[in-house]
Amino acid sequence: MQVYEGRLKVFLLKDISINSVQEKISALIDKALVQNEKMAVFHQKISYKNYCFSGFYPVESERVYRQDKIYTIQIRTIDENLMNYFQEHLINAYTEEMKSLTMTVRKIKKIPIGRVYTLTPLIQKFDGGYWKEIVTLDEFERRLKENLIKKYNNFTGEKCDEDFELYTHLQFDNKGPISCPYKGITLLGDKITLQLAQNPMAQELAYMALGCGLGENNARGNGFCAYKYL
């Protein structure tokens, strides 16, 4: 498995508030995907998309990203063909809010990872709302691990042994739930840090998470991870 990272520079045509960033970036990526009939089907299909993306960099302290400024978006995937498509079709893509300029691609090294932490909110969707009001922490943790295993099995066509420790410590980095606009509603998420276990399966899934994201709604910009090597 290989994680690819594209760094896309975009020029803002309008101000964008911090709460709308993931939604606006999604619209740019979606526009590139629907240019091709095969990729449009991929976009519409309910399945693991195997890509995720960050917000804008540099971060604006005033919580508004400014018109006429250039920012960088990190887009990651474990699908080489998808990254090749992005590299070709995201260049010069545009929406009412932004226009893409250039994109460079690199491979993320596969060496032991000490921890991962989400830069965009991690989402777990439960009927009834925010997970803390519905399920236990044990259920949250079970679903976090299960989601990664399902992504791995789906991508590799294998079924991995589920009897392993994924992490040794989980930390919530937000004091309260974080709002994420999504299709006219608001989802609530969290930012977390995982101190990773050092067994082979934990490391494989952690590496995959760099390309696919943690939790759900990754193709909408949720669960994008930064990382620290050992």
Indicate the residue among 40, 73, 108 that finishes a domain. Answer: 108
The domain boundary residue, chosen from 108, 132, 162: 108
Count Cα neighbours of 215 within 13 Å in the Cβ-side half-sphere: 30
Q: Which of 74, 108, 142 is the last residue of a domain?
A: 108
User: Which residues lie across from 65 on neighbouring strands?
Assistant: 16
Residues 95 and 126 in one domain: no
State the residue range of the domain holding 13.
Answer: 3-108
Same domain, yes or no, for 85 and 165?
no
CB atoms within 10 A of CB 16: 22
Both 16 and 98 in one domain: the answer is yes
Percent of the chain beyond pLDDT 70? 100
Confidence of residue 183 (pLDDT cuts 50, 70, 90): confident
Whole-angstrom Cα distance, residue 48 to residue 156? 12
Q: What is the DSSP string of 127-170?
A: TTB-GGGTS-HHHHHHHHHHHHHHHHHHHHS------S--EEEE
Are 103 and 8 contacting, i.e. CB atoms less than 8 angstroms apart?
A: yes
pLDDT above 90: residue 8: yes
Does the pLDDT of residue 46 top 80, yes or no?
A: no
Whole-model pTM: value is 0.93
Q: What is the number of domains present in the chain?
A: 2
Give the model's pLDDT for residue 43.
79
Alpha-carbon span 123 to 111, nearest angstrom: 27
Convert the pLDDT of each residue in 79-124 to its tens digit.
999 999 999 999 889 999 999 999 999 999 999 999 999 999 999 9
Residue 174 and residue 216 share a domain: yes
Residue 35 Cα distances to 86, 89, 217, angstroms: 11, 8, 22
Euclidean distance between the first and the last CA atom of the chain, given in angstroms as a whole number: 20
Is 191 in contact with 123 (CB distance < 8 Å)? no
pLDDT (tens digit per residue) in 51-88? 999 999 999 988 999 999 999 999 999 999 999 999 99
Q: Residue type for 39, please?
A: M
Q: What does the alpha-carbon distance between residue 140 and residue 16 come to, in Å, rounded to a whole number?
A: 32
Token pair of 36 as six digits: 């091709």
C-alpha span between 37 and 8 (Å, rounded): 23
